Amino acid sequence: MSAPETNPPATLPPGGDPPGITRAFVLAAGLGKRMRPVTATLPKPLVPVAGKTLLDHALDRAAEGGITHAVVNVHWLPDLIEAHLARRSGAPEIAVSDERAALLETGGGVRKALDRIGPDPFVVFNADSFWLEGPVPNLPRLIARWDPAAMDILLLVAPAATSLGYEGKGDFVMDPDGRLERRGEREVAPFIYAGVAILKPELFADTPEGSFSLNLLFDRAIARERLHGLRLDGQWLHVGTPEAIQAAEERVRLSAQAP
């Protein structure tokens, strides 16, 4: 499969209103081990970056993209996250999915909350998804690109070469129609998963009980040639370690000063 550096631009429908994806799930239950010692006493979603917690960055992006209802899962230091969410006002309306008893990973966490998410396609956010926007905000672009007839899952992907703080080999290659495949062993791929996806609830019908990764669904969609990607317009900031916080804040500061 070829791996172009771009894919066709996603534009908003006539009138500027995205189609009706209004629900989201925010993954906020992780242990944040790479962010220690910060996360010994503070859950990673509540780590502040550029004057706002990572969780608020995600929820505010969701609201700006038309999300009206969000489910947030909790496990590590859950009382702190619940108290923080209780102080938020405005969109989206938030429900908490309690994983205190057992951490369910990304796929298991979503599966547990499906009855709260509803029967329609929805957005999944990593709580630490963080990027600088381009001319058109990325969540509306993603929703505008969503085509349930052709896709099971649509990922927001970022160019590995221009993402701040990322030093891996990439996750995916993408063909000219936006279909994704995993990078091969010992290969380098141009795109990384930027932590935002649109999924269909029915994909979870035959998934395992308990803990499993969303990668299971990604791989099943690849096998059906129904995993697609949209290239992020802007710059993805990888905030995975304490040192990365300062680098991300400096990049935000420089962006704000740019003409």
Contact 122, 116 (CB under 8 A): no
Residues 6+ apart with CB under 8 A from 219: 182
pLDDT by position in tens, the chain (length 259): 433 434 444 444 443 444 589 999 999 999 988 889 889 999 999 999 989 999 999 999 999 999 999 999 999 999 999 999 999 999 999 999 999 999 999 999 999 999 999 999 999 999 988 899 999 999 999 999 999 999 999 999 999 999 988 888 999 999 999 999 999 888 999 999 999 999 999 999 999 999 999 999 999 999 999 999 999 999 999 888 888 888 889 888 888 876 6
CA–CA distance, 187 with 14 (Å, rounded to integer) = 41
> What's the one-letter identity of residue 194?
A
CA–CA distance, 56 with 6 (Å, rounded to integer) = 29
CA–CA distance, 192 with 172 (Å, rounded to integer) = 6
N-terminal to C-terminal alpha carbon distance within the chain: 39
pLDDT at position 68:
97
pLDDT at position 258:
65
CA–CA distance, 61 with 75 (Å, rounded to integer) = 23
Q: Where are the domains of the chain?
A: 21-257
Count CB-CB contacts under 10 A for residue 36.
13
Residues 6+ apart with CB under 8 A from 186: none
pLDDT at position 259:
62
pLDDT at position 20:
83
Helix (H) or strand (E) holding 117, with range, is helix 114-117
Query: What residue has token string 């505008």?
Result: 144
Query: What residue has token string 């129904």?
Result: 226
The dihedrals phi and psi of 116, each to the nearest 5 degrees, come to -85, -25
pLDDT at position 247:
85
For the domain spanning 21-257, the CATH number is 3.90.550.10
